[in-house]
């Protein structure tokens, strides 16, 4: 009986850990595939809660600067249903970023891994410095920390 437990732990527990790691990689890749196909509903759903909040807050702030009267809840709703603002936001992003950079021109590997956090190392073929993509497990699913990965820290004076 004791040997059976040891064999189970040695064989099956690492398999579960690998499956979890694979899920983080798969979720991250799915974000870029959805972005490339302009399936912005899936793009939005692939993001961490913090990324969603940051994007909505940034859009709200920029719209307020232009004097446009808009409610934060309207922006949240727009992105949630992927209406005009959502499509405009991601279309604009794609004018400056080609998802093939990540999908076809980079090597992927796992970095740091924890229960609810994983890092995906993305090394572009012509770069010596890899990007470290942050993934978070939220409500049982891996979500891409888009703003956590790419936004620079805001400096306050």
Compare 14 and 34 and report the one with higher pLDDT: 34
What is the mean pLDDT of the segment spanning 128-150? 94
Domain boundaries, the chain: 2-150
19-36 tens-digit pLDDT: 455 899 999 999 999 999
Is the Cβ–Cβ distance between 65 and 135 less than 8 Å?
no
Q: Which CATH class is domain 2-150?
A: alpha beta
Q: Where are the alpha helices (DSSP H) in the chain?
A: 2-36, 40-45, 49-65, 72-81, 84-96, 100-103, 146-150
């Amino acid at each position: 009986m004791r040997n059976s437990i040891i064999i189970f732990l040695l064989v099956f527990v690492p398999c579960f850990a690998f499956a979890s790691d694979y899920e983080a990689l798969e979720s991250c890749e799915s974000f870029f595939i959805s972005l490339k196909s302009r399936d912005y509903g899936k793009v939005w759903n692939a993001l961490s809660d913090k990324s969603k909040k940051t994007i909505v807050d940034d859009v709200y702030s920029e719209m307020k600067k232009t004097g446009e009267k808009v409610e934060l809840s309207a922006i949240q709703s727009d992105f949630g249903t992927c209406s005009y603002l959502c499509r405009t936001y991601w279309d604009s992003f794609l004018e400056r970023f080609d998802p093939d950079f990540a999908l076809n021109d980079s090597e992927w590997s796992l970095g740091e891994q924890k229960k609810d956090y994983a890092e995906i190392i993305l090394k572009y073929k012509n770069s010596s410095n890899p990007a470290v993509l942050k993934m978070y497990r939220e409500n049982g699913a891996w979500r891409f920390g888009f703003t956590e990965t790419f936004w620079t820290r805001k400096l306050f004076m």
